[in-house]
Each structure stands twice: as structure tokens, then as C-alpha cells.
Amino acid sequence: MDRITAEPVTALVSSPFFHSSAMDGYAVRFDATFGASETTPVQLRIPGDAVYINTGEPIPDGFNAVIMIEDVNVVTSSLEDKAIEIIKAAAPYQHIRVIGEDIVATELILPENHKIRAIDIGAALAGGHTQIKVRKRPSVAIIPTGSEIVTPGVPLTKGKIIDSNSAMLQGLINASGASAICYPIVKDDLSEIKAAVSEAVRVHDLVLIIAGSSAGSRDYTSTVIKDLGQCILHGVNIKPGRPLILGTIGRCAVAGVPGYPVSAYITIDLFIKPLIQKWLGLSAQAVETIPAVIGRTISSAIGQEEFVRVKVGKVGNRFVATPLGRGAGVMMSLVRADAMLVIPAMSEGVGAASEVNLSLMRPKGDILNTIVCIGSHDNTLDVLYNFLKRKYPQYSLSSAHVGSMGGIIAIKKHEAHIAGTHLLDEQTGLYNIPFIEKYLPDEKVILVNLVYREQGFIVRPGNPKHISTIDDLTREDIVFINRQPGTGTRLLTDKCLRERGIPGQKIRGYDTIEYTHMAVASAVASGRADTGMGILTAAIALGLDFIPVAKERYDFVLTQDSYALPMVEALFDIIRTDTAFRQTTLQMGGYDISDMGKVMYSN
Amino acid sequence: MDRITAEPVTALVSSPFFHSSAMDGYAVRFDATFGASETTPVQLRIPGDAVYINTGEPIPDGFNAVIMIEDVNVVTSSLEDKAIEIIKAAAPYQHIRVIGEDIVATELILPENHKIRAIDIGAALAGGHTQIKVRKRPSVAIIPTGSEIVTPGVPLTKGKIIDSNSAMLQGLINASGASAICYPIVKDDLSEIKAAVSEAVRVHDLVLIIAGSSAGSRDYTSTVIKDLGQCILHGVNIKPGRPLILGTIGRCAVAGVPGYPVSAYITIDLFIKPLIQKWLGLSAQAVETIPAVIGRTISSAIGQEEFVRVKVGKVGNRFVATPLGRGAGVMMSLVRADAMLVIPAMSEGVGAASEVNLSLMRPKGDILNTIVCIGSHDNTLDVLYNFLKRKYPQYSLSSAHVGSMGGIIAIKKHEAHIAGTHLLDEQTGLYNIPFIEKYLPDEKVILVNLVYREQGFIVRPGNPKHISTIDDLTREDIVFINRQPGTGTRLLTDKCLRERGIPGQKIRGYDTIEYTHMAVASAVASGRADTGMGILTAAIALGLDFIPVAKERYDFVLTQDSYALPMVEALFDIIRTDTAFRQTTLQMGGYDISDMGKVMYSN
């Protein structure tokens, strides 16, 4: 399976190999049946002139037609003498499966350069083959380098990075039809890297050296390749993936693959996979593209072709794309990606609402079955996604965190099926409804509660900086971490500051923003900030302490059209009836689920 | 790779695990940089206030910003005392890759029921996992049954059939995510089949019993299932695939799979694959469908849902489908198929030129790169297909054999890119051109020669029936095999008969037709017929003798539009410049290639 034919496969024998009956009935000689009719039936003696035959059995020598059992009347003249009576002449070879009906000897079964499927194996066997020549899988060595890199499973210490690239590259290479093995990690030492590469190039067709391909003081890859062979290319005009090196050492192809995981992935996809396919005699698989509308402006530096990972969903009758994190180190942007948007080198980017062509990274069918959730972040979204996939494996939930206002605008622009929102209207004291009435006046919408949750200041365990009130944020020794404008959490922070008359600019870190509660909690946990506003659940998740500020309502808003989609119905089935989902939500801490699934508003 | 997560994978550690520099430069304390400007530069002592740092290195404790090397001026006041001078204040955490930038501990990396890709392995490792729980591959046993079945490689004798089903089913099952093993062949014996099944159900999740699922006298499968467990279903309303059995024995699922290979393939696809996917927590992959026009009428019996294999190509701006052999035993119809046409149970079929929806069996990109060749059959077509795929793996050649006239009509109706034709105009003595002028008056076409070839009577070695002239065909002891109307070969036969004043009805087998030269040769080789008109090459291929009748010209006709397609250019590149293709053609025997690739006509 999945190997590539190295030469044409032609049939050694015909299939079937003999004339056989296609029916249960009697084998006869067709010329003995001439003249049979209702008025002049013909009798054929058994076994001289007619022989019973099962479907699939060989036609006895001398016989050349089969009469179906239904068309035969068996007559018995004596105990030994039996005959069949027929009332219709048989045509030559009627109801006979003839030799070569499927495959005639010498016929082409499979051409060269053909990827072998299960059915091809069946046909090759039926054509008399027990072995066929296939292309050798190119042999690929993966050599991870870097003194900071440790094997997965080794306890992490500061400065150490888990070698996740080797296994990822091995998976990519194997999936492309080659066979990859991973070498042990080599530290940043010219002679050690040289020794490993020298050994690898002797026995492999291709050697991939991970990291050290930039121009830094400890980047030895290009030196190693130049010393042992030829460097063909150093640096390509793409982002991520610029510091790629391609070269040869003897008869072996060598590549210096950038160490950032997204760069590594993209360079393998663009440069290494086609090489392997060429070796195998495979054509490059055309990637399916779809037209889509980009939800947000994506700017890109002129002069580099940029590969932006995006999430895609079908909202109404168009595909809508949302860009994911663009850093070369953000592996999760690849895990979450549905498609790649390629921004040409000479472009400054794409504007919001412009039409683009996306290269799909998932089957289109999966994308059609994905609920697009854009809006406020809450930890239950991941849990909900997981429970949806558990009960309805065909559906998926894709969430992007742009804040509550961003979510409502996404619903307005038909860029999302559903939005999470927790916007408090200070005048009325109501959550979400006044905003829906203001921003979505022309939409038929429905508002459904997910949870009530606690917001407050997340602090390190034991509250070492003794933060107790909002006034503490202005202290010289306190670094704050904020959320982006347009989020309900940012509005809450600003409301608290306003009530105390504190201008944001008096707070250190007020302009430093993160996009999720977990990122705020992580900033506090890592010491990057002393505190930030976030939900209790995030504090609990990372073992942090929490100073409560407000209890708030987190709802889903969606159009009635989206609400009627089967995949959205499945989502609300989880929300309303899945007790395990409710239990998991409660176990995370910080949630009140008394109104979970309740319709709070509809028009 | 390709395993399915059995539980959500959440990050055990954040990635990155420490704050690190995103640039080569100096780590500083951001509050020590306040006030720096062109006019009031700030100096920071090394190493107390500033520490050199490479990209990726951890930020030393107490530091919280990085200044790029480009923005720093190193000043040396004494041999020991070094400092950096900066002219711009640093923002908190500038140029620092923060903890959790990629993955925050506790974050969801992969949901349950997710098929694991290379990038997912990388992300799970980066999130601190070295093992993740995946679903067990369902264990499937395949038990081939039938006294006539032999293991591949065993020399064939009359009545024996190669077991090609077991390996095909194993491939299909493994590709669907389960793990299949093949049992030895069991002969048609109730107790032996029962013993094998009893053993298999104890250790597997699913047992597939191949063949014996009909209602014939030696069909034991349903008896075995009923005796050992429960039969849930026997017979489904589909064609091919009707005699499917589904049941359970203890906790094991059992299926009786029909023995005809196409029936086996279709029942696995429709009934077994979804079961395995359900066990794995996978959603059924939506099959891509395309709208296409059917070239020929396909009639279908009312009452059964029929699965017709078709070839598909894109001619002009629409997809055109040509039905393949419909017998349940014709495995090559699956090998060659591009798509499946499902004819509903209550339909009598589809008319020529009607629009249908096809379920693709190959990637759409492959279909777009396939040259559709409809017309006269010649043995060089297979060879040409193979040489095309050898030099241009991205292109494919799909040929359907409907005779020369059928080919010209297919060009007229824009149902093919190219047609093979060898039609002699008796009045002018010219090949093909008069027919093009008559049937394609409005098309810009080009006619290119492929070969000259010899037509004649194919007879068994040594010519045992002493056939020498066309008059011998009327003999009582001679059975003829004909080609279908509309073929150049049929026209040649009829011309010969007319010249001798012989009516077709005086010839036994005149109405029995085959669709290719090889099928005619195979009919002669197998004794089904004594002779038939065909090309010398087919006689040579099967080691038969040959009585020459005429030398004829075999050309390709195509529109100028098709001629300009890159894939068609590639085909003519092979025809015109590939010496290995020419050599192989000559080696087959019976060909004159002196005009190969020459333009014989264009308008």
C-alpha cells in the first residue's frame, strides 16, 4: 500500500483463468438447443448433453453455454435416465463468465509511477503477480542540533527546549513516502556536528540538519555543509523559513532546516517533500484551494513571501478566514490551522473583507462541519470543543479570541456562527442585550447563557506583592498585564479604574496586552507581570491566587440562521444535556452553571 | 501518525518553558532605560546592568527586556569596564519570547477523536507529553473460503481462482484505521469454516468471511453465523454487493462478504468502513462529489441501488464520465475508476448527456490532469499511458474503447480530448479524413498518425481449423468472434464480406461481440471462438497465429483546443521524441511507425 510502482505491471495470466458459469444451472452445447420453443421443447440428457453447474464452477470441456436453473424443467424417464427440457435455444457462451473477462494476459494493470492502493494489490494478484517492483523509499536522516535541546521526557530546566522537531519531521517525511530515522541530539559543536553529518551522508539519500542554519555565532550548519560538500543555497525569501540551507555532500542531498517549528514545517513542505516525490516518481499533489473572505487586515512586509496560517469556516454561503498567530515558534498555529494564506513577496498584505485564495490543510468536508466561534475567550470553550468532538466526531469548534465586541461585530459581518460575550451595560446593569440591540438591530438573533464566572486580579501564590485593591495597581513595584481593547475584561478593568479616578497611564504595563485569560495567568505565573484581570478558572488552572472583583454573565450570541444549523444544534445538545460536560466545567472551578443553555433573549 | 486520540491532550508544561531572547542583543532592566534619547543617551554597565544574549537563550534572572545588537553602542572606559550606550528606552519585555507564547500549561492541544498528524506529535511533545492515549486499532480477521480458491503463487489449474480478495480487503481495512490479518483459505466445508470462525471471533473485534454468502448449495456463511451467533441481516438492495451478511458472534461483529471482488470492495466501503470509523471515534469522511455529464446511456434495473464505476475527465469546461465494465467480477473496473455513479433503486438509469453527481475515487487534481481518449482500441495506448506516466508523473491517459466512429462522435460532442481512429473511406481510399470532414465540419481539428498496423484473422497456433480465406467463416465448424458496430475493424470485416457477397447471418458468432483486440484474441486463445478480425499485435501478445487481411492507418484526431493543452503536448512529446516508446511499440510486433507523430491533416 502507498508504495510506487517502478515499472508497468502487466497481467501474467488472464482472469478468470477458465470459462466458468455465471449462474446456477446446466452447462449445455448451444448447437444442441437449436429449435427449442414452447411448442417444440428440446430434451437434453444428463450428464451427456447437460451437466448441473454452480455459479463460478468451470464449464466442462465440450460445453459452451449455460441455461439458468429457472429456465429448465428436469424430467425423469427412468431411475437412471434424467434429462432437462428447455423451451428456448441457448446463445453461444450465454451465462458464461469467459476467460479474461476481467484481465487479459499481457494487459496493463498498473502503469509505472503509480501509487498502489488496496484494489491495485488485488488486481496485481489476480493478474498472476506475487511480487511487483516498487521504488525504494528514500532514506532520510534527521539530525537535531543545539546545546539547549533535550530529548522528550528529560525533565525541563530553564534554558532547555524539548526536541519536538525531530519527531514532527520524521512524521512529515514518512508521510511523503520516504523513510526517516532520527539521530541523537548533537550539541552546538562544529566537530561533533561534522562527525554526525559525515556518518549520516554515507548511508542516507538525504540528511536534514535541524537548527544552526542562521548566521549566528553558534550556527554551524552552513560551515559543516561547505566543509564536507557544496552549499547550493543559503536563505530563501519566505517567512517563516528564511534560514534554509540546501546542499550536497557526495551523492547525498543535505538540508539545513530552521529550528523554529513553523519554519521547519514550511520548508519541509515547500522544498523537501517535492524532492522526495520527484525521487519516487510521484507528481506533486495539487493542494485544494478555496476562495475566502479575510476577517481582519493582515499586513506583511514587502520583499518576503509570507505563509499565514488561518482558521476557516463557512458562514452563510462564503468561507471566512481568521489569521492565527504568525510567529515562527507558534506551533499551535499549525495545529489549529485549516488553511494557509500565501502573501506574495511584493504585497503589503491583505485588507479586511478582501477575497483571497487559501490552500487547504484539512479536507473541505471538515471545514464545512466546523462551527466558527469568534469573540470573548473562556476556558470552557476548549472543554466544549472536546465534548463536541467526543459525541459528534464529525463536527468541530474553532474559536478565535478577539474580545466580546469583536465577537458581536463578527456576527454582524457574518464572519462567525457564534460569539462569546460578557459585556456589561453600566447604565442598565444588563449583560449583552443592550449591545445586541445596538449593534445587531437588523439581525434575528438568540442569546444563550453558557456560564456565570468570577473576574478578579490574578496574583502569584500567597500574593507576595500584597495586592488588595485596584489602587495597588499604581504602585511603582507593580507590573500589570492588560487585555486587548474591546474585550469585556478590559471594559471591566477600565470601569474599576474610572470608579477610582485612576488613569490607565499611571499603571505600569497598562499598554501590554494579552489575548486570553490563560495568557494573562501565564504572564503572572512566569513573573512577567505581578497581576492582571482575569477569570478565577485561569488562576486555578495555573495554581495562582485570586482577588475577586465581579461576577459576570458569559453568553453565546448567534443568528437564528446559525442556531438552526445541525452542527450548532449538536453544540447546544452538549451544552444542555451532557452531564459530563457540566461536571468538567464545575471541576475547573470559578463557574456557576445554573443558567447553562438558557435562552436569555431572542427577537 | 494517523492514530486517533482517546482523550483530550492538554499541555503539561508551557512552551517555551522560560523567557528567552527573540533577538541577538543585550538583556537589560527596562526601568533602567527610561529617559534614553539621542540627546540623553543612557549607559548600562556590562555585566551588571546589561548582558549579551543570543537569540533563544534564557533571559537572566532580574532582567526583563532585550535591546537589539543594532541599537547598541558598546563603549569601553577601561580594560575591565565595558558598557552599552542606548538612545531609546526599552519597553517591558520587548524582544522577549515569553513563557507560554506557543502553549500555556493546561491548554488543550488536541481534542478527543482527533486523527494525529505530524504537527500534532510535535505539539504534544512540546506540551510535555511522551505518551498519549490513542484508540486501539480494531482487530479484524479475514477468512477466505472456497474450495476453488488458491493462495497467490500456487500454479493455476482449471477451476482454480487466485485469492486476490484477502490482500485487497486487508489493504482496505488497514487504510480505514483497523488492523487486519488474513487467515489461511478454508475450503467449502461447514465444520471447517465453523472452526475457523470460532477461533477468530475469540480474538478479534470483527471477522470477515469472504464468499459463501449467497444462497447456493455450498454457501455456508449464513449457517455458520446463525449456528454460532446471530444473523442481523442477509442481503442488501445494492448492486454489486447484494449477498452481504451482517451478524454477531458473542461480542464479535461478523460479516459475510460477497466473493466477487467488486461486490467485496463496495460492501466494505459502505458497511464495514463506517463501523471501524465509529469504533475509532472518527467521522465518516465526506466523499468529494462533482457534477459531470454522462457520455452514454446507462440503464439500471429498478429495485436495486447500483454502483457504476466511471472514468472522468475534464473536457472543455465540464466533467465528462464514461461508464466502465459493470460486472461484479471486473476488478479492473475499480482499478481504472475515477469515480462512482450511484443510480438510485427507483431509477431505470441515466440517459446519455444527462447531468449526474459523481463520488470521486481519485483526487480532483488527478482528474484535471487526465487526457480522455475515447475511440478505437490499439495496444499501443497502454504503452503510451505508461510512458506518459514515466516521464510526466503528473499526467494520466484514460482510454475507453468505443470504436473509431464512437471516437469521432465523442470529439464532436466534446466528451473526449483525443480519439483513436482507423476508418477507411472505400470511395476515396483515404483513412479518417473523409469522416472528419463529414462528422466534424465545424471543428478546428488536427489528425496525427500514431502507427500503421496489420489487421487479419487471429487463429489458434498452427491454424488447426485450416482457415485461409474469408469464405471459411461460413463453415459449420467455425465460430467467429466479432467487434462492436462502429469500429474500424467491424467495418473492415463487413467490407470483406460484402466483397465476397457473404451475409453476416451466415457466420456463426457474427453477433457475438468484444470491445478490444485483446478480448478477441483472448476469445480465440480460450477456444470460445475459432477466429476473429484483429491486429497482428494482439495475436503476437497471446502467442496466436495470424492471417493478414489489410494494412491500415491508425491516427489520433483532436480539436486544436485540446491539442494546445499542456498534458496533450506532453503526450505528443512522448509520441514524437521518446525513443524508448518507439522501441517498445516495434517490439510488440505488427506496427510500422514511419509516420508516428506526423500531422496528416489540420484545418
pLDDT band for position B80 (cuts 50, 70, 90): confident
Which residues in chain A are closer than 8 Å to B171, comparing Cβ atoms? 1, 117-119, 121-122
Which residues in chain A are closer than 8 Å to B128, comparing Cβ atoms? 156, 162
- Using one digit for the tens of pLDDT, what is the confidence trace for A453-495? 999 999 999 999 999 999 999 999 999 999 988 888 999 999 9
Question: Would the CB atoms of B18 and A329 count as touching at under 8 Å?
Answer: no
Find the CB nearest B282 among A170, A369, A393.
Answer: A393
Pairs of CB atoms within 8 A across A/B: 326
Amino acid at A161: I
Tell me if chain A has a CB within 8 Å of the CB of B79. no
Q: Report the percent of chain B where pLDDT is more than 70.
A: 100
**pLDDT score recorded for residue B465:** 96
- Rounded CA-CA distance A545/A530 in Å is 11
Contact in structure between A515 and A424 (CB atoms under 8 Å): no
- Rounded CA-CA distance B445/B424 in Å is 18
Minimal CA separation from B162 to chain A, in Å: 6
**pLDDT score recorded for residue B78:** 72
Please state whether B400 falls in left (phi above 0), alpha (psi between -120 and 50) or beta.
Answer: beta
Contact in structure between B46 and B84 (CB atoms under 8 Å): yes
**pLDDT score recorded for residue B261:** 96
Q: What is the number of alpha carbons within 13 Å of residue A314 lying toward its C-beta? A: 13
Question: Would the CB atoms of A156 and B17 count as touching at under 8 Å?
Answer: yes
Quick one: chain B helix, strand, coil %, rounded to 5? 30, 30, 40
pLDDT band for position B472 (cuts 50, 70, 90): very high
Given a cut of 80, whether residue B390 has pLDDT beyond it is yes
- Give the residue-averaged pLDDT of B164-184: 97
CA A276 to chain centroid, in Å, comes to 22
**pLDDT score recorded for residue B287:** 86
Minimal CA separation from A1 to chain B, in Å: 7
Find the CB nearest B18 among A13, A57, A158.
Answer: A158
- Using one digit for the tens of pLDDT, what is the confidence trace for A134-163? 999 999 999 999 999 999 999 999 899 999
- Give the residue-averaged pLDDT of A107-119: 96
Q: What is the number of alpha carbons within 13 Å of residue B71 lying toward its C-beta? A: 22
Tell me if chain A has a CB within 8 Å of the CB of B64. yes
Lowest mean pLDDT across A63-72, A409-418, B212-221, B367-376 = B212-221
**pLDDT score recorded for residue B268:** 98
Minimal CA separation from B153 to chain A, in Å: 6
Closest to B338 measured CA to CA, from B354, B360, B357:
B360
pLDDT band for position A56 (cuts 50, 70, 90): confident
Given a cut of 80, whether residue B51 has pLDDT beyond it is yes
Question: Would the CB atoms of A522 and B99 count as touching at under 8 Å?
Answer: yes
Which residues in chain A are closer than 8 Å to B382, comparing Cβ atoms? 107-108
Q: Report the percent of chain A where pLDDT is more than 70.
A: 100
Which residues in chain B are closer than 8 Å to A169, comparing Cβ atoms? 118
Interface of B with A in 92-131 (CB under 8 A): 92-93, 97-114, 117-123, 125-126, 128-130
- Give the residue-averaged pLDDT of A380-390: 95
**pLDDT score recorded for residue B597:** 97
- Give the residue-averaged pLDDT of A66-70: 93
Q: What are the b/e assignments for B26-63, b being 16+ CB within 10 Å? A: bbbebebbeebeeeeebebebeebbbbbebbbbbeeeb
For B129, the grid coordinates are 507529553
Q: What are the b/e assignments for B93-111, b being 16+ CB within 10 Å? A: bbbbbbbbbbbbbbbbbbb
- Residues whose CB is less than 8 angstroms from the CB of residue A192 and which lie 6 or more positions away in sequence, other chains included: A186
Q: DSSP labels for A140-201?
A: EEEEEB-TTEE-TTSPP-TT-EE--HHHHHHHHHHHTT-EEEEPPPB-S-HHHHHHHHHHHH
Tell me if chain A has a CB within 8 Å of the CB of B136. no
Place of cell 465534548: A387
Given a cut of 80, whether residue B600 has pLDDT beyond it is yes
- Using one digit for the tens of pLDDT, what is the confidence trace for A199-221? 999 999 999 999 988 877 778 99
Find the CB nearest B54 among A171, A216, A288.
Answer: A216
Interface of B with A in 470-489 (CB under 8 A): 479
Tell me if chain A has a CB within 8 Å of the CB of B265. yes
Chain B nearest-CA residue for A18: B158
Interface of B with A in 383-422 (CB under 8 A): 383, 385-386, 389-390, 392-395
- Give the residue-averaged pLDDT of B572-592: 96
Minimal CA separation from B434 to chain A, in Å: 33
Given a cut of 80, whether residue A505 has pLDDT beyond it is yes
Tell me if chain A has a CB within 8 Å of the CB of B172. yes
Given a cut of 90, whether residue B213 has pLDDT beyond it is no
Given a cut of 80, whether residue B589 has pLDDT beyond it is yes
Tell me if chain B has a CB within 8 Å of the CB of A169. yes
Q: How many CB atoms lie within 10 A of CB A561?
A: 15
Find the CB nearest B93 among A101, A112, A512.
Answer: A512
**pLDDT score recorded for residue A309:** 96
Minimal CA separation from B430 to chain A, in Å: 31
**pLDDT score recorded for residue B367:** 94
Question: Would the CB atoms of A19 and B528 count as touching at under 8 Å?
Answer: yes
- Give the residue-averaged pLDDT of B529-546: 95
Question: Would the CB atoms of A106 and B541 count as touching at under 8 Å?
Answer: yes
In order of start, what are the domains of chain A with their CATH numbers? 20-97 (2.170.190.11), 139-280 (3.40.980.10), 289-368 (2.40.340.10), 371-602 (3.40.190.290)
Lowest mean pLDDT across A452-461, A567-576, B24-33 = B24-33
pLDDT band for position B284 (cuts 50, 70, 90): confident
Question: Would the CB atoms of B18 and A386 count as touching at under 8 Å?
Answer: no
Mutation for A interface: B30, B125, B585, most A CBs within 10 A: B125
Question: Would the CB atoms of A334 and B119 count as touching at under 8 Å?
Answer: yes
Given a cut of 80, whether residue A248 has pLDDT beyond it is yes
Round the CA-based radius of gyration of chain A to a whole number and report it.
35
**pLDDT score recorded for residue A214:** 80
Q: How many CB atoms lie within 10 A of CB A426?
A: 11
Which residues in chain A are closer than 8 Å to B58, comparing Cβ atoms? 158-159
- Using one digit for the tens of pLDDT, what is the confidence trace for B439-471? 999 999 999 999 999 999 999 999 999 999 999
Q: How many CB atoms lie within 10 A of CB A429?
A: 8
Given a cut of 90, whether residue B529 has pLDDT beyond it is yes
- Give the residue-averaged pLDDT of A578-602: 96
Given a cut of 90, whether residue B515 has pLDDT beyond it is no
- Residues whose CB is less than 8 angstroms from the CB of residue B80 and which lie 6 or more positions away in sequence, other chains included: none
Q: Say which DSSP state B117 is in.
A: -
Question: Would the CB atoms of B265 and A119 count as touching at under 8 Å?
Answer: yes
Which residues in chain A are closer than 8 Å to B159, comparing Cβ atoms? 18, 20, 57-58
**pLDDT score recorded for residue A80:** 72
Contact in structure between B283 and A394 (CB atoms under 8 Å): yes
- Give the residue-averaged pLDDT of B513-537: 93
Given a cut of 90, whether residue A91 has pLDDT beyond it is no
**pLDDT score recorded for residue A219:** 85
- Rounded CA-CA distance A158/B552 in Å is 82
For B26, the grid coordinates are 543585550
- Rounded CA-CA distance A219/A211 in Å is 8
Round the CA-based radius of gyration of chain B to a whole number and report it.
35
**pLDDT score recorded for residue A218:** 77
Question: Would the CB atoms of B119 and A168 count as touching at under 8 Å?
Answer: yes
- Give the residue-averaged pLDDT of B417-443: 94
Question: Would the CB atoms of A216 and B394 count as touching at under 8 Å?
Answer: no
Q: What is the pTM of this model?
A: 0.91
What are the Cα distances from residue B368, in Å, to B313, B315, B373, B416, B565? 6, 9, 14, 13, 11
Minimal CA separation from B602 to chain A, in Å: 32
CA B289 to chain centroid, in Å, comes to 15
Given a cut of 80, whether residue B326 has pLDDT beyond it is yes
Find the CB nearest B386 among A8, A156, A218.
Answer: A8
Minimal CA separation from A197 to chain B, in Å: 23
Strand-strand pairing, A445-459 and A531-535: antiparallel
Minimal CA separation from B508 to chain A, in Å: 9
Which residues in chain B are closer than 8 Å to A286, comparing Cβ atoms? 363, 365, 368
Question: Would the CB atoms of A526 and B160 count as touching at under 8 Å?
Answer: no
End-to-end Cα separation, chain A, in angstroms: 56
Who has greater pLDDT, B595 or A426?
Answer: B595
Question: Would the CB atoms of B99 and A330 count as touching at under 8 Å?
Answer: no
Average pLDDT, chain B: 94
Question: Would the CB atoms of A98 and B528 count as touching at under 8 Å?
Answer: yes
**pLDDT score recorded for residue B174:** 97
Chain A nearest-CA residue for B158: A18
